[in-house]
């Protein structure tokens, strides 16, 4: 008698539609960030295990949003500010960076990158508008450039970085 148990793994990948229907701008960057950090790696790791078969279900809203980012047509303030030269950032841009570019797991994504952790300590752990407004003057153009780069590096899958 064969007592083996067959298991079906079914990964359901979903994200709500973050694209504003009126402006066409992405309100939150989670599709782009998770696409670079999680979605690829989950499927790619199966190359190491050819006898394991799994099913990945990506909902249409997720696919549409990933296609926007992949084609370069996504309107996303985070992406736009990432691409700006640090010495041309406005005060509003700098406040946006201090508020949004630390939205990552501090222990697993920020702390391992020594400079990123240093910049978080400089900013402080409070994300309140008042605290950010008080700390923004202590950041140099180089600090903002480092944040623009480090935030995006932190959101790349660690295995992909190793390869």
Segment 91-108, tens digit of pLDDT: 999 999 999 999 999 999
The predicted pLDDT at position 60 comes to 94
The predicted pLDDT at position 92 comes to 97
**Using CA atoms, how far apart are residues 135 and 163, in angstroms rounded to an integer?**
37
Segment 6-44, tens digit of pLDDT: 888 888 988 999 999 999 999 999 999 999 998 888 888
For residues 114-142, give the mean pLDDT. Answer: 95
Q: Please give the angle made by the CA atoms of 142, 147 and 148, to the nearest 5 degrees.
A: 95
More reliable by pLDDT, 38 or 146:
146
DSSP 136: G
For residues 69-80, give the mean pLDDT. Answer: 96
**Using CA atoms, how far apart are residues 64 and 54, in angstroms rounded to an integer?**
22
Task: Give me 43's structure tokens.
Answer: 């499927």
Q: Is the distance from CB of 113 to CB of 102 less than 8 angstroms? A: no
How much is the mean pLDDT over the chain? 93
Confidence category of residue 86, pLDDT binned at 50, 70, 90? very high
The predicted pLDDT at position 162 comes to 79
Whole-number percent of the chain with pLDDT over 90: 73
DSSP assignment of 11-79: EEE-----B-TTT-EES--HHHHHIIIIIHHHHHGGGG-TT--EEEEE-HHHHHHHHHHHHT--EEHHH
């Amino acid at each position: 008698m064969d007592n083996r148990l067959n298991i079906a793994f079914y990964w359901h990948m979903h994200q709500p539609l973050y694209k504003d229907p009126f402006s066409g701008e992405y309100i939150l960057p989670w599709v782009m960030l998770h696409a670079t950090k999680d979605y690829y790696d989950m499927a790619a790791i199966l190359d190491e295990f050819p006898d394991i078969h799994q099913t990945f279900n990506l909902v249409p809203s997720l696919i549409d949003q990933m296609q926007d980012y992949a084609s370069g047509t996504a309107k996303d303030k985070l992406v736009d500010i990432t691409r700006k030269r640090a010495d041309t950032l406005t005060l509003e841009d700098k406040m946006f960076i201090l508020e949004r570019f630390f939205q990552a797991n501090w222990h697993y994504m920020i702390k391992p990158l020594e400079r990123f952790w240093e910049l978080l300590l400089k900013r402080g752990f409070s994300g309140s508008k008042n605290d950010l407004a008080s700390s923004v003057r202590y950041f140099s153009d180089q600090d903002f450039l480092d944040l623009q780069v480090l935030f995006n590096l932190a959101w790349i899958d660690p295995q992909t970085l190793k390869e």
